[in-house]
Chains A and B, each alone.
Chain A
C-alpha cells in the first residue's frame, strides 16, 4: 500500500516568490493535515481537512498561505509571497476519520527561502 506522497521534496526560492506543495494521502483516508516543522521542533498543525472541507485552519497564516483539497483526495498548500521565516519542512499527513487517530506522514517538502 502506497504511503502519503508529497512533492517536491526540496524547493529553494527567493523571498517574495510563490511556492506550492502537493500531497496525495493514503487511499481511503478522508482526513488530511498539513503540518509545519521548524528545525529542532515538533510539527505544528496548519490546517486539517475532512474530505474537501477545511475544518480547522485556525493556525494557517491566511495573509500569505492558502490550501485546497478540491475533490477530497489530494491537496495543495501555497505560499505567496514567501518570506525568509517560511523556511521549514512542510509535512502532510492523513488518517481514517473513524480510526485510532494515528497519523501517517509523508516525507515532507523542505523549503528554503533566500
Chain B
C-alpha cells in the first residue's frame, strides 16, 4: 500500500522567512503533484513533477522531485501572508505511461504565515 507522508503537518512562520515542506512516499513513482487548499475551498493545482530532478517555480514557491530518494520538497522563499493555506502532495502510484490511476494524497501541511 502506497504511503505518502508530509512533514511538518503544522507550520507557523513569520513573513519574510524561508521554509521547506517535505513529502516522502513509499513506492516507485515518477509523478508527483502539489496542491493548495484554502479553508472551505477546493484543491488548486500548483505543480506537476513528472521526472527525477524536476524543478518547478512559481513566485515564492519552488518544488522539486528526487525519485530515487522518493522525496519531494516545496520551498517557500520570503513568505507572505497570502501563502497561508494547506498544502498537499500527491503521488500517482501506478503510472505506466497512460492516464492517472488516481492520486494518493498526504495528510497536508497546514501553513500559517504571520505578519
Binding site for B on A (CB under 8 A): 31, 33, 40-45, 48, 50, 56, 91, 95-108
CB nearest to B108 among chain A residues: A42
Q: In the complex, what residues of B have CB within 8 A of residue A98's CB? A: 98-99
Q: How far does the Cβ of A42 sit from chain B's closest Cβ, in whole Å?
A: 3
Q: Are B48 and A102 in contact (CB under 8 A)?
A: yes
CB nearest to B6 among chain A residues: A42
Q: How many residues of B contact A (CB 8 A)?
A: 27
Q: Measured between alpha carbons, how far is A42 from B35 in the docked complex, in Å?
A: 11
Q: Are A102 and B45 in contact (CB under 8 A)?
A: yes
6 contacts between A and B (CB under 8 A): A31-B100, A40-B107, A42-B106, A42-B107, A99-B99, A103-B103
Q: Are B103 and A105 in contact (CB under 8 A)?
A: no
Q: Are A101 and B42 in contact (CB under 8 A)?
A: no
Question: Most chain-A Cβ atoms within 10 A of its Cβ — which of B31, B105, B107?
Answer: B105
Given A91-B43, A100-B48, A102-B48, decide whether A48 and B106 contact each other with a Cβ distance below 8 A: no
Q: B13-48 CB contact bits vs A (8 Å, 1 = yes)? A: 000000000000000000101010000011111001
Q: Decide if B50 is an interface residue (CB 8 Å cutoff).
A: yes
Q: Measured between alpha carbons, how far is A44 from B108 in the docked complex, in Å?
A: 12
Given A45-B102, A45-B104, decide whether A107 and B48 contact each other with a Cβ distance below 8 A: no
Q: Are A45 and B42 in contact (CB under 8 A)?
A: no
CB nearest to B99 among chain A residues: A97
Q: Measured between alpha carbons, how far is A95 from B103 in the docked complex, in Å?
A: 11
Q: Measured between alpha carbons, how far is A40 from B86 in the docked complex, in Å?
A: 9
